[in-house]
Structure 1
C-alpha cells in the first residue's frame, strides 16, 4: 500500500526513475481499487459515475509512474505511445516495463534501488 501512496504523492512527476516494484505494486493496488469502485458503483446503481471519476483521478499518477519506469530502463517517456499500437504495442510496452532497470545512474537520474535504504 505504501507504494500506491508514494505514487499518488508524486502526482504529476514525470522526471526521475521508478523501480519495477513501485510500478507494479501501484498497478496491482490500482486494479484492486478499480474493482472496488466499480462494485460500489454498481451496487449504488450509478455505474457510469464513480468509476470514471476514479479513473480520471489516477490517470496522471499512472502516466507519471509509467514514464519514470521507462526512464529506469533507459528509455524516453515517449515510449509510452507504443501502447497505442493495437495488440503488439501493448505487449512491447509490458516487456519494457518488466525489464530490469539500468544499474547505476543514467540520463534520467540515479538508480532508485541504490537510493533506497531498506
Structure 2
C-alpha cells in the first residue's frame, strides 16, 4: 500500500524516477480496486454492460489516469529512457508489449539524466 500511496502523492510529477516496486504495486492496487468497484457497480446497477464500465469504476479510472501516466513516465526515466517512449502505447499490440518489457527492466543503478537512483535511498530496507 505504501508504494500505491507514494505514486498518488506524486499525482502529476513527471520528473524523477520510479522504482519497479512503485510502478507494479501502483498497478496491482489499481487492478484490485477496479475489480472491487466493478462489483459495486454491478450490485448498485450502475454498470453499463455495453460499455463494460460502471459509474464508480469510470470515476476512479479518471482519478488515477494522470498518476498512472506519471508513474509510467518516471519508470521509463529509471530505465534511462525519455517519457516520450510512453507514446508507444498508441501502436496496437506491439507498442504495449514493448512498454511492458521496458517496465520489467531493472532501473539504472547510478545517477542518470533524470535524477539519482531511487534505490540509493535504502531507508526502507527494500
**Equivalent residues, number:** 118
1:24 and 2:8 equivalent?
no
Q: How does 1:42-61 map to 2 (within 5 A)?
A: 42-47=42-47, 48-61=54-67
Task: Give the TM-score normalised by the residue count of structure 2.
Answer: 0.91
Pairwise CA distance, 1:108:
0.2
Q: RMSD in angstroms over aligned alpha carbons?
A: 0.8
Task: Give the TM-score normalised by the residue count of structure 1.
Answer: 0.97
For residues 94 and 46 of structure 2, the distance between their equivalents in structure 1, rounded to whole angstroms, comes to 35
For residues 64 and 91 of structure 2, the distance between their equivalents in structure 1, rounded to whole angstroms, comes to 22
SS of equivalent to 2:107: coil
1:82 and 2:88 equivalent?
yes
Q: Which runs of 5+ in 2 are unaligned?
A: 48-53
1:100 and 2:100 equivalent?
no
Q: Which residue of 2 aligns with 1:2?
A: 2
Structure 1 stretches (4+) deviating beyond 3 angstroms? none
